Amino acid sequence: MAQRILTFSIFRYNPATPEIKPRMQDFQLDETPNMTVFIALNRLREEQDPSLMFDFVCRAAICGSCAMLINGRPQLACKTLTAELPETITLMPLPVFKLVGDLSVDTGTWFRQMCETTEAWIHTDVKFNPKAEEERMDNAIALDIYEAERCIECGCCIASCATANFRDDFLGAAGLNRVARFLIDPRDQRSPAQVFEVVGTDEGVFGCIGLMACDDLCPMEIPLQTQLALVRRKMMAAALRCQCQK
């Protein structure tokens, strides 16, 4: 196959120069073997435009920093091979999150807020005893918790979520998966009724309209559909129990 010249059509905006309106800018780059969007963007910055803003940290698809819209699809740029893309590649920042500049968005603030809203930490009255043996846990439960904890907070599920795109306060799949992670953890003493207070709403689990783009696009392949269903089921049960007690 002849070597391709790729055209990257990239969203540009620097908040420090608001007089220059947001625009698309085209760059040409020769494709090299095994080229990823990570390699391409770094070359563009070093060789053509050092002001180009984007985020990479691990470049190994484990930190979640580099999600962006690649030809309209939210995905991790570091593991996207250019060979799998057409000659013209459009790069846009993720929607929903606040723009920092060009392809860089502020996912950190969004996820911290989500963690604060859902109180995403272990709630327990037990005091830590440094002299005691650890509490025991069935390895199957440990693996279940781990499965939910694999979320890397990249924001692909949020960016692709119809509800999140029109409701600022929707927790999204990442948020509900985080709730599921603590629901199944025996160390967390919150009752389903307490969790219901937080997520048994339209901002929470009942805001999902079931399009399931989150499940299709999760780069970690977390079974978000199953996790959402688990939270819904538990919340439904908690709600019914409350009703019966009234």
Partner 1 sequence: MKWQDTHITEVLVIGAGLAGERVAVEAASHGHECTILSLVPPRRSHSTAAQGGMQASLGNVAMGYGDNPDVHFEDTVKGSDWGCEQDVARLFVNLAPIAVRQLSYWGVPWTRVVPGKKVLPDGREIEDLPEKEGLIAQRAFGGTAKWRTCYAADGTGHVLQYSMDSMVIKLGVTVHDRMEAVALIHDGEHCYGAVARCLRTGTFRAYLAKATVIATGGYGRIYGTSTNAVINEGTGMAIALDTGVVPLGNMEAVQFHPTGIVPTNILVTEGCRGDGGYLLDKNLHRFMPDYEPVKKELASRDVVSRRMMYHIRQGYGVESPYGPHLWLDIRHLGTEHLYTNLREVCTICGNFLGIDPAKDLIPVVPTQHYSMGGVRTNIDGDAYGLKGLFAAGESACWDLHGFNRLGGNSLAETLVMGMVVGARVADYVKEAVMDFPPTLVSDAVKKQEERVKQLMTAKGTENVYALRKQMEETLLNKVGIFRNEADLKEAVATLSDLYARSQHLKLRSNGLGPNPEVAAALRLPGMLRLALCIATGALNRQESRGSHYREDFPKRDDANWLKRTLAYWRPGADMPDLQYEDITINELPPGDRGYGEATGVTQVGD
**Residues engaged in binding partner 1 (CB under 8 A):** 14-17, 33-34, 36, 45-46, 49-53, 55-65, 79, 100-101, 104, 106-108, 111-112, 115-116, 119-122, 124, 126, 128, 130, 132-139, 142-143, 145-146, 149-150, 152-153, 185, 187-188
Would you say 51 or 88 has its CB closer to partner 1? 51
Closest approach of Cβ 141 to partner 1, in Å?
A: 8
Closest approach of Cβ 69 to partner 1, in Å?
A: 19
Tokens (6 digits) for 28: 């040409």
Would you say 63 or 212 has its CB closer to partner 1? 63
Secondary structure (DSSP) of 1-14:
-PPPEEEEEEEE--
- Cα separation, 99 vs 15, in Å, equals 9
Closest approach of Cβ 149 to partner 1, in Å?
A: 5
Terminal-to-terminal C-alpha distance of the chain: 71
Around Cβ 211, how many Cβ atoms within 10 Å?
12
For 100, the enclosing helix (H) or strand (E) is strand 98-101
Closest approach of Cβ 5 to partner 1, in Å?
A: 21
Would you say 135 or 168 has its CB closer to partner 1? 135
Contact 145, 185 (CB under 8 A): yes
